[in-house]
């Protein structure tokens, strides 16, 4: 009997299974949309972060994920549906060596998107007449409609000045999602996955430890000089090498704050859409603004990945040294210290650090990836506007290369889908959706409820900041096995 147990244990060591809920971070390589896609259409993606089990990579980045569009709900002319919907089903994953494995997974997160994810993983669009501009226009139209001769002005405001957002869902190649396994996969055979990046040698680690000890640990607010984001990156390379890597990973640089940029950002907020070049608030390191900044967003201006980067006077084997502070904007926040409106950041800042690492390593523009612990970095603290920040105090170290042939680039992918109908169809649909919304919601009862909801939301955001001295309770997200969490234990080791 004991011999049988030994054989069973050896078999379990030789084969590994991914647990339910394990996360796969993917990037679409084919577009999908509610207007033109049909049930059964293929959906393809690439794994952009490895799946690691027991410290070993079992699904390497670059694996191809395949599935189909299970169901779709089209808004069309707006007679039947106000909301668009998509249900994606992923059924197989193909490793870089060509081996294909069955897969059962649902969408768990749609990165930086305004759409809602249902419990079954299906995606629901937002009501187009719920945009801020349309709601504000509703108050104007209600006031004007008190006089019968203002009906023409009402129609002009609704028909030409205030536009409703596109209600159809459209996800081009490059949109990123997180899948959660809903079924056990076939056991993974033991495979040797060659690392795409090297780690620091013992000698390099000793030198890097001395260099990091001289680097700043925090950024500071420009106006209040309060300590803000944590420094969680060291980059080795030139400005051009850094820029090439971030561009290959799909990140964009923000525009400088100004009248035109502010108007564009306000319109994005009012119309319920994204702004990939929205300005970023200036933060200081040693009284200097960032030398470059990068961000990645989609269709929600309230959400974005972003990082600020400063050049340092130190060097590494004759190459330039840069430091960076990365955080993830997840919502708007109001009436914070020093500002009327700003972004709220995700509390676990290590997830954003790991997101940046995975994105850049995936491009093959990184030669060395490692990390080191900083004992002088607080594990729990707050940024300048009061958002709590939690970290394992480790700093990522990336050495860049010339990035001459970046991997995973979607340039020239070519595949497209129609996003919506003709201008005449869109105009007719807008009028139909507006009429439906006005019939149900253009009254004092709905407007009163809506105003009260805004006030309660603003009050909760204002008073919901936690005390940095109190350890936060563990979240459901932290209890799951995340590929982005602790990339040293997972990706690098």
CATH number at 94 reads 2.40.128.260
- Those residues whose C-beta lies under 8 Å from the C-beta of residue 83, and which sit 6 or more positions away, are 73, 75, 124, 125, 126, 127, 167
Domain contains 420? no
Same domain, 94 and 182: yes
State whether 179 and 114 are in the same domain.
yes
Domain stops at, among 151, 166, 191: 191
State whether 237 and 95 are in the same domain.
no
Q: At what angle do helices 132-144 and 259-271 cross, to 10 degrees?
A: 80
DSSP assigned state of 247:
H
The span from the CA of 289 to the CA of 292, in Å, is 9
Same domain, 347 and 474: yes
C-alpha angle with apex 415: 180 to 122, nearest 5 degrees?
A: 30
Together in a domain, 223 and 341: yes
- For residue 416, is it within any domain? no
Domain that holds residue 105: 12-126+175-191
In a domain, 108, yes or no: yes
Q: Count CA atoms closer than 13 A to 435's CA, side-chain side.
A: 10
Closest CA to 294 of 322, 324, 268, 319: 324
Q: Are residues 346 and 228 in the same domain?
A: yes
Burial class (CB in 10 A: 0-12, 13-18, 19+), 405: exposed
Does 210 lie in the same domain as 185? no
**Residue 436 domain flag:** no
pTM for this prediction: 0.80
Same-domain pairing of 469 and 340 = yes
Number of folded domains in the chain? Answer: 2
* Residues 82 and 36 both lie in one domain: yes
186 with 232, same domain? no
Three-class DSSP category at 138: helix
Give the contacts of 113 (CB within 8 A, at least 6 positions apart). 175, 298, 299, 300, 303
- Tell me which DSSP letter residue 122 carries: -
Q: Residue 277: inside a domain, yes or no?
A: yes
Whether 376 and 332 share a structural domain: yes
Domain co-membership, 183 together with 239: no
Residue 310, in any domain of the structure: yes
Tell me which of 140, 162, 191 is where a domain ends: 191
Query: Which residue has tokens 């996969």?
Result: 185
Residue where one domain finishes, among candidates 159, 191, 223: 191
Instruction: Indicate whether 444 belongs to any domain.
Output: no
**How confident is the prediction along the chain (493 residues), in pLDDT tens digits per residue?**
454 444 434 444 445 677 888 899 999 999 999 999 999 999 999 999 998 877 788 889 999 999 999 999 998 888 888 889 999 999 999 998 888 999 999 999 999 988 989 989 999 988 776 666 666 666 555 555 555 555 556 555 555 555 566 788 889 999 999 999 988 776 665 555 677 899 999 999 999 999 999 999 999 998 888 999 999 999 999 999 999 999 999 999 998 877 887 777 777 776 677 888 888 999 999 999 999 999 999 988 889 999 999 999 999 999 999 999 999 999 888 777 767 778 899 999 999 999 999 999 999 999 999 999 998 999 999 999 999 999 999 999 999 999 998 987 665 455 678 888 888 888 788 778 877 877 777 777 777 887 788 788 767 766 544 433 333 443 434 433 344 343 333 343 3
Q: Is residue 65 a part of any domain in this protein? A: yes
How far apart (Å, rounded) are the C-alpha atoms in residues 426 and 76? 9
């Amino acid at each position: 009997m004991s011999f049988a147990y030994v054989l069973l244990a050896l078999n379990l060591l030789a084969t590994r299974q991914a647990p339910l809920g394990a996360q796969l971070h993917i990037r679409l390589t084919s577009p999908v949309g509610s207007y033109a896609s049909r049930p059964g259409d293929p959906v393809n993606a690439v794994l952009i972060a490895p799946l690691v089990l027991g410290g070993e990579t079992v699904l390497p980045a670059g694996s191809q994920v395949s599935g189909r569009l299970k169901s779709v709900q089209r808004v069309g002319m707006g007679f039947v549906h106000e909301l668009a919907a998509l249900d994606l089903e992923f059924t197989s994953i193909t490793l870089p060596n060509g081996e294909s494995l069955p897969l059962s997974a649902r969408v768990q997160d749609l990165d930086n998107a305004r759409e809602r994810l249902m419990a079954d993983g299906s995606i629901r669009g937002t009501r187009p007449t719920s945009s801020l501009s349309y709601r504000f226009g509703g108050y104007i139209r209600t006031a004007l409609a008190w006089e019968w001769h203002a009906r023409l002005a009402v129609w002009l405001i609704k028909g030409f000045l205030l536009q409703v957002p596109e209600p159809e869902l459209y996800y081009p190649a490059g949109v990123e999602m997180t899948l959660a396994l809903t079924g056990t996969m076939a056991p993974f055979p033991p495979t040797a996955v060659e690392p795409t990046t090297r780690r620091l040698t013992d000698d390099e680690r000793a030198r890097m430890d001395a260099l990091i000890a001289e680097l700043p640990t925090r950024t500071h607010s420009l106006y209040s000089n309060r300590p803000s984001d944590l420094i969680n990156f060291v980059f080795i390379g030139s400005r051009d090498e850094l820029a090439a890597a971030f561009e290959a990973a799909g990140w964009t640089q923000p525009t400088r704050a100004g009248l035109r940029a502010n108007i564009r950002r306000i319109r994005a907020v009012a119309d319920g859409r994204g702004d990939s070049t929205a300005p970023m608030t200036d933060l200081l390191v040693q009284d200097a603004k960032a030398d470059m900044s990068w961000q990645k967003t989609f269709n929600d201006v309230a959400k974005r990945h972003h990082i600020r980067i400063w050049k340092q006077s130190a060097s590494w084997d004759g190459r330039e040294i840069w430091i960076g502070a990365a955080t993830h904007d997840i919502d708007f926040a109001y009436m914070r210290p020093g500002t009327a409106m700003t972004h709220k950041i995700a509390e676990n800042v290590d997830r954003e650090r790991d997101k940046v690492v995975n994105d850049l390593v995936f491009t093959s523009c990184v030669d060395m990836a490692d990390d080191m612990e900083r004992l002088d970095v607080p594990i729990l603290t707050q940024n300048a506007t009061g958002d709590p920040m939690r970290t394992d105090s480790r700093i990522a170290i990336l050495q860049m290369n010339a990035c001459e042939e970046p991997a995973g680039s979607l340039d020239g992918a070519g595949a497209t889908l129609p996003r919506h109908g003709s201008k005449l169809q869109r105009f007719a649909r807008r009028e139909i959706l507006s009429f439906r919304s006005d019939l149900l919601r253009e009254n004092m009862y709905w407007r009163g409820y809506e105003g009260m909801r805004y006030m309660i939301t603003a009050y909760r955001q204002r008073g919901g900041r936690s005390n940095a001295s109190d350890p936060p309770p563990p979240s459901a997200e932290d209890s799951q096995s995340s590929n982005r969490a602790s990339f040293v234990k997972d990706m690098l080791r």
